Structure 1
């Protein structure tokens, strides 16, 4: 574990931004112990100087070999012209090796490997024979974990990540090209960074005829699409990290509750319990989440985690699936039963106002005593009957009289014959709008 931690550089890498991901151990040469009187700084400086001289000597050797190869090609062309043969035939005859290759001379490394293989293959290991199903499952699980680490683990440094991305992109281009020739399909792929500190080389690959799609339909070349795609991914990653602490806590709580409900698979509401996690969750449903909890983050409710880095690590683990609910193994279930049998149930904390009257408590009406006098008891009195609702006319009859003027007054030449018309006489009306006889009208 220490070797894996030491292999991670201190710069911003994909591995450091994703602390939940396991790191693929890089290949490292064994370190030689320091001699007497040597210091790490002196050894480092001597190694750097020796590396510089070695690179300079390798460059000179490469230049001389290239010059020799050029001279050989010129000599072979002259020989081909002199003897009237093709250059390829002469070159093949010159570079052809013997059918019987020379055997390699034995060395100490080959001898040690041979001795170790002979020791291991001498007889069968009795511990590996007649394995029970649980042991077989454990070996298979270990192999699957190793393969999964190699396939999905994070690279230890930026150099390894860059080489991995370049190799995979070349393989994708080769596969796309071969598939296009075999079945006539069309495909394209865009490789972009997701963080500004990544050192991978962005790029794209496509089959024949695919470039016209970007210029004719999208109105821009594929290089411009790749540039905008990388800009979007980097900006999106920055926006995700700017999420507030309260929003992150709420989202983590929701993801944990959703995963719990999915694993239980029941209609009733299941609530997460951190105080009685072993008894209420693990003991009841035989599932657990604390095994995949981020390292260094306290196992508690997300609202109780105040550190921003811990919240971000927990949220990222829940989103990517690294931190998830899993079923317990039979061994874990047996250990939990023993633990629960020896553990006392945790009592709930009592209220501070226990035994007193709480604010807002509704007072109940006292019940009537069997020996009390019904005549003097208020409870024994019959409840008042609710009357019927009054009609509109009945309500209007109880209101005082009001007078409504006519909207228009007609002017005529024959005012005397018109009676009350045109004199502005008003008619009393009741609240319902109907006219009533006035004293003048009755006269």
Structure 2
């Protein structure tokens, strides 16, 4: 029978995995991870409309109520089930509810914790997750990695710590003559005493640098994940194989969108499309910086149809006499 054969196969496989683990003095789990029998990456689940409505209704009913007087999940669900209005939502209403939940999730992900203790627990949990992911990646891909985490203020309760796969910590000792503990200590001094963290730097020049750096780092990361380390010239099909991306605001449509097939989506409303260094108020640059940090403004990949539509639109505007981007100054020796 097929089922019996499958059972025998699974048992044989388990025995073989155990033999490999014993032979190489590692755990069975490590062998399974290397063979890829465990899924390490999970796609984010799409929002269910039911959960979205429950979130919105919960906020509506429980906001401002004391903790002992709030509606339970079951009570909220019963209220929704008995309200016919939620069974006839328009597409616009559904999208509005989804946007509210997205905003709430973004705040939970990037918002400051209510006190130092909860911030410290959050830091420990995240570093533990990073450690597990890095060590699993080491087993699968043979990488070396070092991660440092320190507090950003002297009053924070976050404990400085570091993660190093295998003997990666030896790099710091061999090449820089510094133990990782010393590096972490100096890093903490730099962050706390010299006040180099982002929250301490809200002046115009610092915000401009932050916005520009975040924008380019997100563009590079977008290419790493979307194009497998290759920056492609979408219009011609060429691939440079290099991450030598440079932002070009003056010729954005031609030099960025058409060449790389991506665009900035969610640029803050009412904010002129300029390089951060050309913005002249803290409010403008901060709104851009915050939008980039939360993901409200992000890089989006365009499909072939969208690129063709843009190329056609640029040609139409150019034929109508509009100057697209900036025209380079003509060389004095041109034509000679």
TM-score, L = length of structure 1: 0.32
The one of the two structures with greater contact order (alpha-carbon pairs below 8 A, sep at least 6) is 1
Bigger proportion of residues as helix: 2
**Greater Rg by CA:** 1
Query: Normalized against structure 2, the TM-score is what?
Result: 0.41
